[in-house]
Amino acid sequence: MTFVPTQRQRFTPARHLSSWRRLSLHVWRKPADPTVYGLLDVNMRRALAYLEAINREPGHTRVTVTHLVVKGIAKALAETPEANGIIAMGRIYLRDSVDVYCQVATDGGKDLSGVKVTGVDRKSVVAVADELVAAVAAVREGRDRGSEATKKTLARVPDRLLGLLVKASGLLSYDLRLDLSAFGIAFDQFGGAMVSNIGSFGVGTALAPLVPVSRTPIVLLVGEVTDRPAVEDGALVIAPILNIGASFDHRMIDGYQASKMARTVVASISDPEAAFGPPTRSS
């Protein structure tokens, strides 16, 4: 069946616009940001019991909510491999490893750095925690060679040239796939997803923009676990709820993929024993 319009659409200039509306038309450009934002609520009753049990086991590394989120998004990426990629030269390229970048506050919160854990989907929660704790300590104590090299490179670049450097490094590293590690820029240093814990600052809910220089299509902000109303077994109760602010690149991930990944993340964190195994140091 062919649709035949009965009347041609006409556009009539709007009149009597407010001064702010007139000004706003010249303040912003046309929409060009592909970011989609969403909020995930996770009932943490089972997860907190899981963490308590696993942290009673002998060991020096404390497993936290952040480590569960890192494992959750890694599981989602492993099950949705078409979302585990980068956009370069107008094309999508898929990664062969599920890597997650964790942002780290340094210098007492005055600066921001991070570490990448590779092959997260193949590692246990405890192994992820061990690796992250050691790597974060190295960054904060100035022992991480990659972070220190990057800081030295940035310190030598004048502000007026910094934007040019960022664009050039993205072109060389991602589009042309050159190894720039000698200049303090590790190849694909951010992985398939970024995770940042803002709950440690007492923040419950927040959303973050994508970081263009990273070419990472997913950013998760982990909020503070707080007691909130929830439904359990058909009854209204007060439960510990974790809020995760999720941002993703719509060029890489569509609504179907995003909803599938969201279900995996929520299910994995809310019941980590079912997703990752029993709460033991050997799991």
What CA–CA distance (Å, rounded) separates 227 from 230?
9
Mean pLDDT of 230-241: 94
pLDDT average, residue stretch 128-151: 82
- Can you give the pLDDT at residue 7? 56
- How far is Cα 226 from Cα 198, in angstroms, rounded to an integer? 13
For residues 181 and 134, which has the higher predicted lDDT (pLDDT)? 134
Locate the DSSP E strands across 123-179.
none
Please compute the mean of the pLDDT values over residues 124-132 and round it to a whole number. 94
- To the nearest whole number, what is the mean pLDDT of the chain? 86
Nearest to 239 by CA among 80, 42, 77: 42
**List of E strands, 95-234:** 100-106, 111-117, 193-197, 218-222, 226-232
Q: What is the pTM of this model?
A: 0.86
Structure tokens at 262: 């969201």
Distance between CA 21 and CA 15 in Å, rounded? 11
Question: Is residue 108 over pLDDT 70?
Answer: no
- Integer Rg of the chain from CA: 22
Q: What is the pLDDT of residues 169-179, one digit of tens each?
A: 888 888 888 88
State how far the Cα of 113 lies from the Cα of 131, in Å rounded to an integer. 16
Per residue in 202-230, pLDDT (tens digit) is: 888 899 999 888 889 999 999 999 999 99
Q: Which residues contact 134 (CB under 8 A, 6 or more apart)?
A: none
Instruction: List pLDDT tens digits, range 78-100.
Output: 999 999 999 888 888 899 999 99
11: confidence class by pLDDT, cuts 50, 70, 90: low
Report d(CA 151, CA 146) in Å as an integer: 9
Mind listing the domains of the chain with CATH numbers? 69-143+189-275 (3.30.559.10)
Residue 159: pLDDT band with limits 50, 70, 90: confident
pLDDT for 121 beyond 80 = yes
pLDDT of residue 189: 85
Task: Please report the beta strands in 82-164, taking only residues with DSSP state E, as ranges in sequence order.
Answer: 85-88, 91-94, 100-106, 111-117
At 185, phi and psi to the nearest 5? -120, 100
Residues 6+ apart with CB under 8 A from 156: none
Q: What pLDDT is stored for residue 3 in this prediction?
A: 47
Which of 76, 94, 49, 107 is CA-nearest to residue 244?
Answer: 76
Whether the per-residue pLDDT at 126 is higher than 60: the answer is yes
Mean pLDDT of 184-208: 87
